[in-house]
Structure 1
Amino acid sequence: MPPSTTMEAPMCLIENNPGEQLRVNQEALEVLQSIQQPVVVVAIVGLYRTGKSYLMNKLAGRKKGFSLGATIQAETMGIWMWCVPHPEKPDHTLVLLDTEGLGDVEKSNIENDSWIFALSILLSSSLVYNSMGTIDQFALEKLQYVTELTKRIKVKSATTKTSEGEEEASSDEFLRFFPAFIWTVRDFTLKLMLNGCSISSDEYLENALRRKKGHPEKLDLAKKCIRQYFPSRKCFVFDRPAASRDLEELEDLSEKMLSPNFVVQAHRFRQFIYECAEAKVIQGGYVVTGTLLGHLAVTYVDAISSGSIPCIENAVVALAQIENTAAVHNGLTRYEAEIEKCLKLPTEAVEELLELHAQCEKEAIKVFMARAFKDDNHEYQKELGNQLQVKLLDLCSRNEQASSDRCQAVLMELFQDMEEKLGKGIYSVAGGYQQFLDDQKEKVDQYHLVPGKGLKASKALQDFLKSKEAAAQSILQADRTLTDKQKEIEVERVRAEASARETELHKQMKDEAVQRAKQQEQSYREHEKQLMDKMEVDRKTLLAEHEMVMKRKLKEQKRLQEEGFQQEVSKLNLQIKRLQEQVKQQQQQRGGSRGGKSCVIQ
C-alpha cells in the first residue's frame, strides 16, 4: 500500500446518521479505492458493548484505534474501516471493518441493524460474529439477522420460482459468495466438555448448531441458516480480558496486566486471521482490490438507499464493466511501453516490425487477461484486439514515414553535388549524358551501401530517379555525340529500368501484404490461445466451486439424517444431484469451445 494511503487511524466508511439513509463517506472511499492490492476483509458484527472494537484493534496490531468506550452507550455508528499492510501476506492489505452494535435500544433507526449486518456479509471475506457468555438459545435468538438474509441480499437478478410459486432456497448460491463465519464468544467461563469428554471450540460451535425436532422455529431457523449459508465455520472462546475494575482502562493496559488465558486466546485468534483469512473474491474467483471493494460498497449502499435489495450478480456485472475497461487500458499501456522500449525506426523489413508487434501484443493480451473477468461475449477482448490493430497500422505508418524521411535525407546529401552540376549546366555538353549516367550510377551504388534506410529504400529511390527523368531526357537530347537512334534506344532502356523497378516495388508491396495477413492470423491465434487458457482456468475455478458446494451439501445431508430431518434430506438429495450434473458438465467441457474468429478480434 503506497505510503500516501497508509491509515494511521480508522475512518467511517459507511455512515449511519440518525434520521438519514446509509451513505458512503467519500473521504474514506477515496482512501479505499487508492489501494490497488488484493484485500483481506475482516468484518466484525454483534450486539453493542461486547468488545468488538478491542478485538479489531488487536488485529490491527495497535492498542488504540477503533473506539472502545467505557459506558453502556454504543460508540461505533455505521461501519468503520481501518486499512493496514497485511502482516503475513506480501502485497496484500488487511481491511478491518468494525460495525456499530446490533440491538441498541437507543437507536433511532433499528431497521438499519439488518442492513449493517447484510453489508458486513457482502463486503467481507471473513465475518466475525461476537457474542458474550455462551452460545445458547439467547445468543441464537439474537442472530435473527441471519434468518432475514434472503430478504436483504439477492444473489441473482432473476429469481427462480418453484412449482409452488415460492422462491427457491438460495443456500447453495450463498455458499458460493458468503464469507467464512467466525463466532467469537467473550467472557467464556464454561469448560469445553461434552458427555464427559474435552472438545474443541469448533466442536462446541457445531454442537450448539445441532438441530432438534420440536425446538422453537425461530431458534431452529437461525441454526439452519448459519449451517446453510456459510461455507466454513470457526469458533474462538475468550476469558474475560481483565478484572472488572480494569475494564474501563482496557486499551491502556499492558499485556502483563491482562488475563494470561486471554492473551493466549487473542494471539491464537489473531494468528488464525493472519494465516487463514482469505482475500476477498467475487464470482469466478476474481480477487478484489481496494478499488473494487470501494465500488462494491457504493453499489450496495446505493441499492439500499433507493429501496432496492442489494444484488450480488448486478454488483459483479457493474464491477466487470469497470475492470474490463481498465483491463483494455492496461493492455494497451503495456503494449505501448514494450514497443517504446524495443522499437528502433525505421526497420529494414516489415517482418521485423510485425515480429516486434506480435511480442508486444502477447504481453498486452496477458495483462488484459490477468485483470479482465466476466467478459462473456468477448466484447472487451475484441476492443483490445481492434485497438491493437489500430496501433499496428499507426506503427507501420510511423515506420514508413521514418524510412521515407531517412531515405530523403540520404538522397539529398548524396545527390547534392549532382544538383549543383545540373544547375550550372555542366552536363549540357557533348558527352554530358554519359557523364550524368556515370555520376548517377555512382550515387545509386553509394545509396545502396548506406545502412538504416528502412523498408521504403526502393520506393524512395524509385520516386527520386523518376523526379530526375525530365532533366536526364533534356541532357540526352542536348548531347550531340549521340545519334537519334542511340537516343531512342537509351529512352527505351530508361523506361525498361523504371518498369523493372516498378515491378519490384509491386512485388515488395504484395509480400508485405502477405506478411500482414499472416500477422493478423497469428494475432487471432494468440488471442484465442490466451482466451482458451483463461477459460480453462475459469472452468477449473467453477468446478472447484461446484465441488465445494457439493461437499458442504453432503456434509449437511449427513447431519440432517442424524438429526432426523428426513424431508430436508430429500430436498438436499435433489440439490446434490443438480450439483453433480453441473460438475459432470464442467468436467466434459475441458478445453472449452473454440468457436469462430469473430468471437475474438474480428
Structure 2
Amino acid sequence: MASEYTCMTAPTYLIENRRDGKFVVNEEAADLLTGIRQPVVVVAIAGLYRTGKSYLMNRLAGKRKGFCLGATVQALTKGIWMWCLPHPHRPDCTLVLLDTEGLGDVRKGNTENDSWIFALAILLSSTLVYNSMVAIDQNALEKLQYVVELTKKIRAKVSSGRSQEDDNSAEFVRFFPAFIWAVRDFTLQLEINGQPVSEDGYLEDALKLQQGDSEQINKCNMPRLCIRKFFPSRKCFTFDRPTNKRNLPRLEELEEEELEVDFLEPMTRFCEHIWKTSQPKTVPGGHTVTGRMLANLVKSYVDAINSGEVPCLENAVLALAEIENSAAMREAISSYEERMGQRLKMPTGTVEELLRVHAECEREANAVFMARAFGENIKSFQEELAQKLKQKQKEFCERNEQESRDRCFAALTGLAQELENGIQRGIYSVPGGYKHFLKKMHEIEEEYHSVPDKGIQADKALEEFLKSKETVAKSILQMDKALTDKEKEIEAQRTEAQAAKLQQKLLEQEQARLAQMLDDQKRSHEEQLQLLNKKMEEEKKKMQEETERMLQHKLKEHEQLVKEGFEQKAREMESEIQRLKEESSNSFMSHLAHLIEKLGPHLIALGGQAMQHKMYSDIAKIPKDSKK
C-alpha cells in the first residue's frame, strides 16, 4: 500500500525535551507519522554529545544537510528529531530516521533525562546506532551506562512472579532493535594478538567478560553483559576522521572528493548495510508497525514517562491493539458500504442477488479488518464488526425493498390512472359495469407484469394494490343489476380465493427469504470461524518464530559464557532458557484455550458442539515437549 504522507524535505522534532525534564510530542510530527500507512524501518542514533551523530544520519538520508551539525562544543540536537523518507531499497516501506539528543551534556547535568532519551531510542527503533569516539575500550563501555539502566527504565510485562530485572533480561530480546556500534575517528590497527580481526570481531572481543568476582570487575562486566543479553543482532563499523581538523567545521559543505577515502569506504558500507538489512519495526508477537502505529507508541511512552511510570511494553501493545482494531473495524465498515454502493444495483430482482453481493463485500470487509487487526482482543472486535455489518446488511435490504416499492407503486399508479378516472366518472356503476371493471383490472395486472426491474416487492405491491380496490370492487359488484345474487356470491368467492392464493404466494416468498437469510447467516459464521482460525495460526506461528529467535540467542550466549569460563553465569542462563521454554508452552496452551472459549458460542450456534469437544480433545493429546 502506498504511503499517503508528503515526503519530508527536512527533519522536524518529534519529541521535545523541555528544561523541566518533561517530554512533549510534536503533534505535527505525529500527524506526519499517522499519514504513513506503510511499515516503517526506524533507525535511531544515540551516543555522547558532539560526536557527529547527525552527520551519520544525514548520510543515511542520502543528503549532505538535514539534521543540524554543530561546530562548537555545545550540543545542538535537543530531544528527538525525525526525518521520514522513501526507503532506498524497499518501496513498500518508509525509512524513519531518529536523531537523539547527545548524552552526557555537561550543561544539562541530568543523567536521568539522558537515560530516558536512550530508552526511547530503544523502544522506538528497529535498528539502534550507538556512536562513540576513537575506540571500544573500558572508557567507552563505562560511558554506555545507559544500557545498564534499561531494566529500571523499561518494563516488558505488567507483572511477573520474578523480579523486574529478571523478567526484563528474559524478554528484552523479544523487542530490542538490532545494535550497531559506530566508532568514529578510529586510527588503530584492527589486530588482536598480532592477528587481523574484522570490525565485528573487534566488537565481540571488546564485549568479552573479565575474569573475577570483585565489585570492580562486576561493574566493568555489567555493560558488556547487558549488550550481549539484550541485543541479539550486533554489528560494528569503524570510521577514520572524515577530513582534516581545519575542514571539520564545514563538514556538510564538503564534496565527496574532499573527504578521506578511509572515511568514505566504511561510510558506504555502513549506509548499505542499514538500508539492506534493517527490518521494519515490530512489537512482541511479530506485528509489523506502520507510521500511524509508531505515532501511537510515541505518545504512549511519553505519557508514561511524564506520569512518572516505567513504560510497559505489554501495556503499550495492548493499547496499540485497541486503537488499531477499532480503526480496522471502522475501515472494514467503510469498505463494505463503499463496495455495496458500487456493486448493488437496486432494486434487485431476487433476495439471492442482494445476498450474493453482500457476501462478496462482507468477505472483503473482513479481509480488510484481519489485515490490520492483531492482539488478544481481535475476537471481540470481530464480533462487533459482524453485528455492525449485519445491521448494514439490514439497512441495504430495507433500502432495496423501499426502492422496489416506490418503483412498483409508481408503475401501478400510472397504469391505474384511467381506472381511477372511470371510477370517478361512474362508468362502472351501471349494469354490466363489473365485467368492464374486471377487464380493466386484468389489463392493469398484465401491463404491470411486463414492467421491467420492479424488484423483490413486485408481488407485495400488487397485493396491496388489489387490496386497496376491494371496497370499490365489492361496491361495483353489488350495484351491478345485470348479475343475479347467485352470480354475485360466486364472484365474491372467486375474488376471495384469488386473494388467498396471492397471500399464500407472498407467505411462501417470505419463508423462502427467511431461509435464505438464515443460510447466509450460517455462511457468515462459518467464514468468520475460518478467518479466526487462520489468524490464530498466523499469530501462533509468529509467537513460535519469535520465541525460537529468543532461545537461539540465549543458547548462543550460554555457549559463549561456557567457552569464556563463566560457569555460574552459564547456569543462570540455563535456568532462564528453561523458564522461557515453560512460559512459551504455558502461553501457547493458554492462548488456545482462551480462543476456544471465545469461539464456543459460535461453534454451538453452528451445531458445532462436537467440533468444540474435539478441539479440546486434540489439545490434550499434544505431547508436552511439542507445546512449546
For the residue of structure 2 that corresponds to 1:82, the secondary structure is strand
Deviations 1:328-355 (A, max 9, x none): 1000011011101101111111111111
Provide the C-alpha distance between the structure 1 equivalents of 2:603 and 2:114, rounded to a whole number of angstroms: 47
1:234 CA displacement: 1.0
Give the aligned residue type for 1:488.
E
Task: Give the TM-score normalised by structure 1.
Answer: 0.95
Residues 1:173 and 2:184 are matched in the alignment: no
Q: How far 1:581 moved relative to its partner?
A: 4.5
In 2, the alpha carbon distance for the partners of 1:310 and 1:601 equals 41
Equivalences for residues 297-336 of structure 1 within 5 A: 297-336=298-337
* 2:427 equivalent to 1:429: no
Output the CA distance in 2 between the equivalents of 1:200 and 1:317. Answer: 42
How much has 1:172 moved relative to structure 2?
2.5
2:260 corresponds to which residue? 259
One-letter amino acid matched to 1:152? K
- Give the stretch that moved more between structures: 417-426 or 176-185: 417-426
Give the whole-Å Cα distance in 2 for the aligned partners of 1:78 and 1:218: 29
- 1:282-293 aligned within 5 A: 282-293=283-294
Please list, as runs of the form range in 1=range in 2, the aligned pairs for 1:139-288 lying within 5 A after superposition. Answer: 139-161=140-162, 168-214=166-212, 216-288=217-289
One-letter identity of the residue aligned with 1:76: T
Going from structure 1 to structure 2, the CA distance change for 1:460 and 1:296 (only over 3 Å counts) comes to same
Distance in 2 (CA, whole Å) between partners of 1:167 and 1:88 is 38
Mapping 1:87-166, distance limit 5 Å: 87-161=88-162
**More deviation, 134-143/434-443:** 434-443
Could you list the per-position Cα deviations for residues 125-159 of structure 1 after superposition, in whole angstroms to 9, with x for gaps in the alignment?
A: 11000111111111111111111101000011113
CA-to-aligned-CA distance 1:67-106 (integer Å, 9 cap, x gap): 1111122121211111112111113221111111111212
CA distance in 1, matches of 2:261, 2:193: 28
Task: Quote the RMSD (CA, aligned, Å).
Answer: 2.1
Greater relative CO, 1 or 2 (CA 8 Å, sep 6+): 1
Aligned partner of 2:515 in structure 1 is: 514
Spell out, residue by residue over 1:208-248, the C-alpha distance to the aligned partner (whole angstroms, 9 max, x if none): 11113227212201011001111211111111111122111
Question: Residue 591 of structure 1: CA displacement?
Answer: 9.2
Q: Is the 8 A contact 2:170 2:580 kept in 1?
A: no
Q: Find the aligned partners of 1:591 and 1:598 in 2 and give their Cα distance.
A: 15
* 1:361 to 1:426, Cα distance in 2 relative to 1, 3 A: same
Equivalent AA in structure 2 for residue 274 of structure 1: W
Tell me the SS of whatever aligns to 1:411: helix
- The residue aligned with 2:545 is 544
AA at the equivalent of 1:125: S
Contact 1:382 1:599 in 2 (8 A): no
- Mapping of 1:492-531 within 5 angstroms? 492-531=493-532
Residue 198 of structure 1 deviates from its aligned partner by 2.6
In the alignment, structure 1 residue 400 sits paired with structure 2 residue 401: yes
Once the two structures are superposed, the pairs formed by residues 338-349 of structure 1 within 5 Å of their partners are: 338-349=339-350
- 1:278-331: CA deviations, max 9, x gaps? 111112222222222122112111211111111111111111121111011000
Partner AA of 2:186 in structure 1? F
Aligned equivalents of 1:352, 1:30: Cα separation in 2 = 42
Q: Tell me if structure 2 keeps the 8 A contact 1:19–1:109.
A: no
Q: Distance in 2 between matches of 1:224 and 1:361?
A: 52
Q: Which amino acid aligns with 1:250?
A: L
> Any unmatched runs of 5+ in structure 2?
606-628
Pairwise CA distance, 1:445: 1.8
Once residues 591 and 377 of structure 1 are traced to their aligned partners in structure 2, the CA distance between those partners, rounded to angstroms, is: 14
2-structure distance, mates of 1:589, 1:526: 24
Indicate yes or no: 2:452 matched with 1:462: no
Compute the displacement of 1:590 (Å): 11
Q: Distance in 2 between matches of 1:169 and 1:598?
A: 36
Quickly say closer, same or farther: Cα 1:11–1:245, change in 2 above 3 A: same
Q: Is the 8 A contact 2:12 2:81 kept in 1?
A: yes
* CA gap 1:108/1:553 in 2 versus in 1, 3 angstroms: closer
Task: Give the match for residue 76 of structure 1.
Answer: 77
Query: Contact 2:5/2:35 (CA < 8 Å) preserved in 1?
Result: no
CA contact (8 A) 2:210 2:217 kept: no
Alpha-carbon distance in 1 for matches of 2:165, 2:202: 33
Q: Once superposed, which parts of structure 1, at least 4 consecutive aligned residues long, lie more than 3 Å away? A: 1-5, 578-602
Write the deviation string for residues 30-85 of structure 1: whole angstroms up to 9, x where unpaired: 33333222211111011111111110010111111111111122121211111112
Residue 558 of structure 1 corresponds to which residue in structure 2? 559
TM-score scaled to structure 2, two decimals? 0.91
Letter in 2 for 1:283: P
Distance 1:110 1:601 in 2: 59
The corresponding residue for 2:625 is none
> Is the Cα–Cα contact under 8 Å of residues 144 and 222 in structure 1 kept in the other structure?
yes
Question: Aligned with 2:85: secondary structure?
Answer: strand
Aligned 8 A contact 1:536 1:590 in 2: no
Residue identity over aligned pairs, in percent, reads 51
Give the 5 Å matches for 1:38-77.
38-77=39-78
The amino acid of 2:268's aligned partner reads: H
Q: Does structure 2 retain, via aligned residues, the 8 Å contact 1:524–1:601? A: no
Counterpart residue identity of residue 18, structure 2: N
TM-superposed CA distance for 1:584, in Å, is 6.0
| Inter-CA distance 554–264: structure 2 relative to 1 (3 Å threshold) | same
Distance 1:244 1:599, change over 3 A: farther
Three-state SS of the structure 1 residue aligned to 2:166 is coil
Moved more, 65-74 or 139-148: 65-74
Q: Equivalent residue for 2:488?
A: 487
Q: Give ranges in structure 1 of 5+ residues lacking alignment.
A: none
Classify the secondary structure of the residue corresponding to 2:246.
helix
- Provide closer, same or farther for how the CA distance between residues 589 and 451 of structure 1 changes in structure 2, counting only shifts above 3 A: farther
Question: CA deviation digits over 1:346-368, x for unaligned, max 9?
Answer: 11111111111111010111101
How far apart are the structure 1 equivalents of 2:583 and 2:602?
A: 25
CA displacement at 1:597 relative to structure 2:
5.5
